[in-house]
């Protein structure tokens, strides 16, 4: 321990100017020395709120203690043991753990997510997961995003043969839309390489509702089916003109920006308006800034900046890169004849609170104004696409945009079919794990066996040699 240092070891990052033109990663890894220095700020709390706050209960205190002792190989091993998508999460996780880190009360929380990256960069991370003895009950998973992948990991570790059916030709789901300045694009492959010895088969280009249904998978001999299709169908604005060429939903735009050099809008002199105030809107706007030569990108949001659902880091960084914000305005009409020529906005006032207590918004008559633009990107949320899914499953989303089984164990109204999802990568993984536990309990009961806790994913009983006197988190969640 290096005494109390309340201020975080700065995370190296690119200066703002180059960011407007390129998709190079913004945050850079700590050096080994910086990582050790930062880890030594940790108080090694007996009751680690950081671990409690992590949706997958990653033993972050453990890997931080190991880094503090310069034991990077052990830190990498501990990280990978708890976390099937550690390489993805060390760059994209919204670090819920840091919100509850006790150092945050006095100064800056420990850089828990960035230290995960240091563990993987400097420790030996090319490890392979080890399966338990094989079982004869096959499980099908529909959807290869983080929910489905975490479930595949959990179930295959317990010995179940798993097949993941995915509509796209690639895995990752919405992870593939995260801009390259956050995630280079090779991280998921790095994580999936550790699955090599698990009995998981990925089948791409197969869409549930078209090529098969959950019930047809049961009829094909799968003993359980997990629907993990997320929510990717764009919500419409519901205003005239939104079908004009030049109006794009955010997700296909971001996917194209990642998969092709120019994205959907082309590297032209575009004037872009992005509608929405969440992280997806900010990702779309910051990507558009990099793709458009005019650098003329405006975010339109119906509430005040403080009420934006996007993280304040994301908003601040976007502003620094040159995004403009038009706030407390809502779009009422997209202008144009053959393509977008502008968008009409109207002022929005705060109305009475809704059922959840959040103030509603009301349009103010006589306040219309026109913003000239040739591209509109719509980022006002997504819903699950359940076309072709039998109604008996009763999967229509209620509290979440993704489909979820209505029973407490997330089983649907059809026996053996489960469904779940999550609001971020780590929450999606937690949902996948919880569903896998429920599926294991269901199948074990059918086979007359006891359900099994997750075996040590790396084999052995205590895979990483832990710091002296370390007993793991001192309570169970």
Residue number, 167 or 279, with CB nearest to ligand SF4: 279
Q: Which of 51, 152, 254, 310 binds ligand FAD (CB under 6 A)?
A: 254
- Least separation in angstroms between residue 64's CB and ligand SF4 is 6
Question: Cα separation of 168 and 95, whole Å?
Answer: 28
Q: Which does 264 bind (CB under 5 to 8 A by kind): ligand SF4, ligand FAD, none?
A: none
Q: Of the candidates 341, 343, 340, which has an alpha carbon nearest to the alpha carbon of residue 370?
A: 343
Q: Answer yes or no: are the C-beta atoms of 148 and 164 closer than 8 Å.
A: yes
| Interface mask toward ligand SF4 for 390-429; x: CB under 6 A | ------------------------------------x---
- Among 9, 26, 36, 61, indicate the residue that binds ligand SF4 (CB under 6 A): 61
Classify residue 149 by burial, with Cβ atoms within 10 Å: 0-12, 13-18, 19+.
buried
Residue 473 CA to residue 381 CA, distance in Å, equals 37
Q: Which residues pair with 165 in a beta bridge?
A: 142, 203
Alpha-helical (H) ranges within 196-311 are 214-219, 250-259, 279-291
Angle between helices 60-68 and 112-122 (to 10 degrees): 60
Q: Tell the smallest beta-carbon distance from residue 186 to ligand SF4 (Å).
A: 19
If one asks whether residue 121 binds ligand SF4 (CB under 6 A), the answer comes out as: no
How distant is the alpha carbon of residue 254 from its chain centre?
14
Kindly state the smallest distance separating residue 110's Cβ from ligand SF4, in Å: 4
- CA-based R_g, the chain, Å: 24
Phi, psi dihedral angles at 442 (to 5 degrees): -65, -50
Binding mask 5-44 for ligand SF4 (x = CB under 6 A): -------------------------------------xxx
Q: Are 428 and 444 spatial neighbours (Cβ–Cβ below 8 Å)?
A: no
Q: Is residue 146 within the footprint of ligand FAD (CB under 6 A)? A: yes
Q: Which is nearer to ligand SF4, 60 or 140 (CB)?
A: 60
Distance CA 233, CA 132 (A): 38
Q: How far apart are CA 101 and CA 24, in angstroms?
A: 30
**CA angle at 442 for the pair 436 and 445, rounded to the nearest 5°:** 135
Can you tell me which of 77, 81, 91, 95 binds ligand SF4, judged by CB under 6 A?
Answer: 95
Binding at 292: pick from ligand FAD, ligand SF4, none (beta carbon under 5-8 Å per type) = none
Q: Which residues contact residue 468 at a Cβ distance below 8 angstroms, ignoring those fewer than 6 apart? A: none
State the binding string over 74-93 for ligand SF4 (x if CB under 6 A, else -): ---------------x---x
Nearer to ligand FAD, 81 or 113 (CB): 113
- Minimum CB separation of residue 427 from ligand FAD in Å reads 7
Choose, by CB under 6 A, the member of 40, 87, 232, 433 that binds ligand FAD.
232
| Binding to ligand FAD in span 85-104, by CB under 6 A | 92-94
What is the rounded CA–CA span in Å between residue 144 and residue 141? 8
List 418's β-bridge partners, or say none.
Answer: 226, 411
Binding to ligand FAD by CB under 6 A, coded x per residue (else -) over 271-310, reads --------xx--x---------------------------
The span from the CA of 75 to the CA of 193, in Å, is 19
**Pick 174 or 433: Cβ nearer ligand FAD:** 174
Which residues are at the interface with ligand FAD (CB under 6 A)? Answer: 92-94, 142-148, 165-168, 173-175, 177-178, 182, 207-209, 228-230, 232, 251, 254, 279-280, 283, 402, 421-426, 428
Which residues are at the interface with ligand SF4 (CB under 6 A)? Answer: 42-45, 48-50, 54, 56, 58, 60-61, 64, 89, 93, 95-97, 101-103, 110, 112-113, 116, 426
């Amino acid at each position: 321990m290096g005494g109390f240092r309340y201020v975080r070891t700065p995370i190296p990052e690119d200066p703002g100017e180059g960011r407007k033109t390129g998709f190079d990663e913004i945050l850079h890894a700590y050096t080994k020395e910086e990582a050790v220095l930062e880890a030594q700020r940790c108080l090694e709390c007996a009751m680690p709120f950081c671990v409690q706050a992590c949706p997958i209960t990653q033993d972050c205190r453990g890997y931080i203690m190991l880094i503090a002792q310069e034991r990077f190989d052990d830190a990498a091993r501990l990280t990978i043991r708890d976390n099937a998508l550690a390489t993805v999460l060390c760059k994209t996780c919204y670090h819920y753990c840091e919100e509850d880190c006790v150092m945050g009360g006095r100064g800056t929380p420990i850089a828990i997510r960035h230290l995960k990256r240091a563990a993987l960069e400097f420790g030996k991370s090319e490890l392979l997961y080890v399966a338990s003895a094989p079982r004869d009950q096959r499980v099908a998973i529909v959807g290869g995003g983080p929910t489905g992948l975490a479930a595949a990991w959990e179930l295959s570790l317990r010995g179940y043969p798993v097949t993941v059916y995915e509509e796209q030709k690639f895995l990752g789901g919405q992870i593939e839309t995260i801009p390259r300045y956050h995630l280079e694009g090779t991280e998921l492959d790095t994580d999936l390489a550790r699955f090599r010895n698990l009995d998981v088969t990925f089948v791409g280009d197969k869409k549930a509702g078209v090529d098969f249904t959950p019930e047809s998978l049961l009829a094909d001999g799968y003993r359980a089916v997990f629907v993990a299709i997320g929510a990717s169908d764009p919500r419409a604005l519901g205003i005239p003109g939104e079908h004009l060429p030049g109006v794009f939903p955010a997700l296909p735009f971001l996917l194209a920006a990642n998969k092709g050099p120019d994205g959907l809008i082309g590297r032209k002199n575009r004037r872009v308006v992005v509608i929405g105030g969440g992280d997806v809107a900010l990702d779309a706007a910051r990507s558009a800034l990099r793709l458009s030569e005019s650098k003329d990108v405006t975010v339109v949001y119906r509430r005040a900046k403080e009420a934006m659902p996007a993280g304040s880091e994301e908003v601040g960084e976007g502003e620094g890169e040159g995004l403009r914000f038009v706030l407390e305005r809502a779009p009422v009409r997209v202008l144009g004849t053959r393509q977008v020529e502008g968008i009409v906005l109207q002022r929005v006032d705060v109305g009475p609170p809704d059922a959840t207590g959040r103030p509603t918004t009301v349009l103010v008559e006589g306040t219309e104004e026109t913003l000239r633009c040739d591209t509109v990107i719509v980022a006002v949320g997504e819903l699950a696409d359940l076309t072709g899914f039998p109604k008996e499953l009763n999967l229509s989303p209620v509290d979440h945009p993704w489909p979820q089984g209505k029973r407490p164990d997330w089983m649907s109204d059809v026996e053996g079919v489960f469904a779940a999802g999550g609001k971020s990568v780590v929450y999606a993984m937690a949902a996948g794990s919880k569903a896998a536990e429920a599926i294991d309990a269901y199948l074990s009961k059918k086979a007359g066996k006891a359900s099994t806790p997750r075996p040590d994913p790396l084999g052995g009983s205590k895979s990483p040699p832990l710091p002296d006197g370390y007993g793991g988190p001192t309570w169970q969640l």
